[in-house]
Amino acid sequence: MAQGSWYDADIDHVIISEEQIREKIAELAKEVSADYASAPEGLLLVCVLKGAVMFVADFARALGRHGPPVELEFMALSSYGQAATSSGVVRIRKDLDREIAGRHVIVVEDIVDSGLTLSWLLRYLESREAASVEVVALFRKPDAIQVAVPVKYVGFDIPSEFVVGYGLDFAERYRELPYVGVLKPEVYARS
């Protein structure tokens, strides 16, 4: 087999490299550690499946170097289609396993696009009486500014094009790419 992985042939260009991701996560973890230094009870990271799994795994380990103790929770959400999404209607496919009342929560998101799902999630978590709720998103697209979602920690602002890798998929594929890139147009044509 030729050099590289099978998926390299499908990638038109890389937007964010593996090294850039690693450095950015270390920076974000440093910032979050400093902000929560006076929270000895620690942080509850709420990961939204599936796109944020790579990010939460690396982010939690980076926090583990200097930060507060962390616990992990996972949620899976789906919207009732485009029209329903705009009205903020989201279905919980997997809920939190524990109560979060009184906890400092950080929602760990892969990418904020329209921000509609996230704004619903923030309302939901607040209704469960968390002590505080913040968001860390590794990527943000310009559309995100259309809805008022307070994303305190942002890794990279990226252009409004469809990207894959580092957890982000196209038809469930490409999540395992260590970098983030844009697919070649023919990949869409053959699906």
The dihedral formed by the CA atoms of 32, 63, 156 and 167, expressed in degrees to the nearest 10: -140
Residue numbers 59-118 binding ligand IMP by CB under 6 A = 109-118
Q: Is 8 a catalytic residue?
A: no
- From the candidates 10, 58, 110, 113, which is the catalytic residue? 113
Among 168, 177, 183, 187, binds ligand IMP (CB under 6 A): 168
Q: 81 CB contacts (<8 Å, ≥6 apart)?
A: none
Asked if 51 touches ligand IMP (CB under 6 A), the answer is yes
CB of 113 to ligand IMP, least distance (A): 3
Size of the site for ligand IMP (CB under 6 A): 15
Could you tell me the smallest distance in angstroms from the CB atom of residue 164 to ligand IMP? 6
Cα torsion at 179, 157, 83, 135 (round to 10°)? Answer: 90
User: DSSP states of 133-177 as a string?
Assistant: EEEEEEEE-GGGGGS-----EEEEE--SS--BBTTB-BTTBSTT-
**Least Cβ distance, residue 87 to ligand IMP (angstroms):** 13
Question: Which residue lies nearer to ligand IMP by CB, 33 or 119?
Answer: 119
